[in-house]
Every structure is written in C-alpha cells, then in structure tokens.
A and B are shown apart, each in its own frame.
Chain A
Amino acid sequence: MTQPDPRLCDLPPLPANHGDEPVFAAPWQAQLFAMTTALNEAGHFAWSEWAEQFGAELARTPQATGQCVSDHYFGCWLVAFESFVEQRGLAAAGQLSELQRRWDAAARATPHGEPIVLPAD
C-alpha cells in the first residue's frame, strides 16, 4: 500500500454538474467577456497578458462558501479587468468609480420597469 498523497486531502470536490449548462450564468458575465474579447481583438493587449493578470486574481481569491463557480470565476474576471483597463491607460484614475456612481444614481432616478440610461454629465 502506498501512502495517500497528503496534497489530496485538501482538494475540493468537482462541481456536481458535469452536464450541459449555459455558457454564462448572467448577462453581466456575457458583457464582461465580450468587452475583454473585443479589446483584445482591437489590439489593446495580447491575450497572454490578460490571462496572466486574470490567473493571478483567480489564484488570490478563493471561491466563497456557497458561491457558484461561474460567479466566482467572472467575479475575479471583473476585478482583474477593472485594474487591467486602468493599468493600460484605457480609463483614467477615478473614472470608473465616477461612472459607477452615475449609473447607480441613474438607476435610482428611473421608475421601475423603464430602461436605465445614463444622462449626459
């Protein structure tokens, strides 16, 4: 008998669903994916540069208890992408947080059921 590999003890089980599932669990995940791919296609960065940054974020942030794979995965994608666009100079410092504030205000000013649009600043 060989000893069990001690590294195996800490391994989490695979997600239960091995079958088909939607590619994206929510529309925001699809939008995020599309933005990243479109910027890459337009030549703003090499995919390997993005993969490195994203991979580092995944490695740094463990999946929370009860969080599904897709939410964890694209949550890390979002964090990595926000800092990536700032590092690459595609967004000025503070620009994203200002836009977030305006989107939140726009939502609160929009009657329920109507499309939320960002007013000109």
Chain B
Amino acid sequence: MSDDHSHLDPIAVRVRALESLLVDKGYVKADALDALVDTYENRVGPRNGAQVVARAWVDPEYREWLQRDANAAIASLGFVGRQGEHMVVLENTADTHHLVVCTLCSCYPWPVLGLPPGWYKSAAYRSRAVIDPKGVLTDFGVSLPEGADIRVWDSTAEVRYMVLPMRPAGTEDMSEDALVELVTRDSMIGTGLALEPTGSAL
C-alpha cells in the first residue's frame, strides 16, 4: 500500500464507535473492560470445573451437595460469577451419558468452564447435538457402551448445565490434585470422557 495513514477495518470502526459511546456516557469504564477481557482470557477456564469434578470424585458428601445445590457447592471452592447463576450438575453413569448444548446461542457455565470453544458456538453443533447426538459423540471420538442412553440438555440464560464425568477405572489411589489433570473441558460438556490415567500420572 502506498498511502501512509492508518486504516481501521469496518468492524473495528463499529466496535470503537460502540466503546467510545458507552465509555463517554459513563455506562462502562475502559479499565473495567480490560479487566473483563483479562479475566476471561487468562483467569477463568475449565480448570475450575476440573477441580469441582475431582472433589466430587473423592468426597461423597461433596458429590451429594453438588447434585442438590450446585451453586453453593461450586461457590464453596471459590468459583462464583456471572453466567453461573443457576447451575445444574448432571452425573454420568454407565447407563446414562449427558450432553450439553445451547440451541439458542451459546449459554455456558462461565465460572466453571470459562468461555465456550468455537465448536460449541457453531450452528453445526447447536443443531446436530439435538438431532444426532450419537453422531456428534462419534465425531468427537467418544464411543459409549452398547445400550447406553444419551440425554441432551439445552442450556438457557437461566439454567446452565455441567456434566460430572465418570471417574476412570484404576484411579482409586490417585490424589485429588492428580485427578484434576484427568478432567477435560469436553468431559464436562459431554463431548468427551475423563482421561485414562497414564503411568506418569500415577
């Protein structure tokens, strides 16, 4: 390009217009916006949920509390915040596998899982999870035992679901901290299973 002045692409112009409007009118503060971005890019993520799952695996009382009042049980570990206002935890068993979707947009339990991955936001996932959950699980490399029932849960702005995956076999002697490492983001959405322990994790 030969000209030496700056360019903002049309989208950047629109976002800057919104931001300057909202900041100038005092509806939002610029440093509060930066703090929010930092929080969701760097501080809140699926590791929070993994700690909830590992605690539930080792502590039957906590597990029962999580089923009865997920918000309180999760908050007791320090994970509170917006978009987790009414949490419901769905426990996977040998017979029943839960899968979470938001067909409307991408409602998701931010305090425990962070912000949703791209595929969760895609039209493909939002439609296919409901119509063809088994096919979706196959795409994710998940094969369930013969005859297992798949239940699909549609998150909304009011209710956010999180899956409690099954504890893998052979992990009876592992510490809670080591168990956290086996809990993947996908296993808490239902598009994955908890990882099998490896030699080094034991």
Interface residues of A (CB under 8 A from B): 5, 7-8, 11-15, 17-18, 20-25, 28, 30-35, 37-42, 44, 46-48, 50-52, 54-55, 58, 62-63, 68-70, 73, 75, 78, 81-82, 85, 90-91, 95-97, 99-100, 102-104, 107-114, 116, 118
> Of B33, B82, B131, B156, which is within 8 A of A31 by CB?
B33
The answer, yes or no, to whether B37 is at the interface (CB within 8 Å) is yes
The answer, yes or no, to whether B175 is at the interface (CB within 8 Å) is no
- Do residues B14 and A14 form an inter-chain contact, with CB atoms below 8 A? no
Contacts of A35 in B (CB 8 A): 18-19, 22, 28, 33
- Do residues B83 and A90 form an inter-chain contact, with CB atoms below 8 A? no
- Do residues A107 and B7 form an inter-chain contact, with CB atoms below 8 A? yes
The interface centre, meaning the residue of A13, A38, A39, A42 with most chain B CB atoms within 10 A of its CB, is: A38
Given A23-B114, A82-B18, the answer on whether A13 and B132 have CB atoms closer than 8 Å is no
Q: Mark B28-43, 1 if CB is under 8 A from A, else 0.
A: 1100111011001100
Q: Which of B47-55, B66-74, B122-130, B166-174 contacts A (4 or more CB under 8 A)?
A: B122-130
- Do residues B132 and A8 form an inter-chain contact, with CB atoms below 8 A? yes
Given contacts A99-B20, A100-B13, A102-B17, 4 further A-B contacts (CB under 8 A): A14-B136, A18-B117, A32-B15, A85-B21
The answer, yes or no, to whether B94 is at the interface (CB within 8 Å) is no
Contacts of A108 in B (CB 8 A): 5-7
Considering the complex, give the chain B residue whose CB is closest to the CB of A104.
B13
- Do residues A96 and B21 form an inter-chain contact, with CB atoms below 8 A? yes
Contacts of B132 in A (CB 8 A): 5, 8, 11
- Give the A-B pair count, Cβ closer than 8 A: 182
> Of B6, B25, B140, which is within 8 A of A114 by CB?
B6
- Do residues B5 and A31 form an inter-chain contact, with CB atoms below 8 A? no
- Do residues A55 and B104 form an inter-chain contact, with CB atoms below 8 A? yes
- Do residues A107 and B5 form an inter-chain contact, with CB atoms below 8 A? yes
Considering the complex, give the chain A residue whose CB is closest to the CB of B36.
A34
> Of B8, B119, B156, which is within 8 A of A14 by CB?
B119
- Do residues B140 and A18 form an inter-chain contact, with CB atoms below 8 A? yes
- 28 examples of A-B residue contacts, CB within 8 angstroms: A12-B124, A13-B139, A18-B191, A30-B41, A31-B19, A34-B34, A34-B37, A35-B18, A35-B19, A35-B22, A35-B28, A40-B82, A50-B157, A51-B156, A52-B157, A55-B105, A62-B123, A69-B121, A73-B122, A75-B11, A78-B14, A99-B17, A99-B20, A104-B8, A104-B13, A107-B5, A107-B8, A118-B16
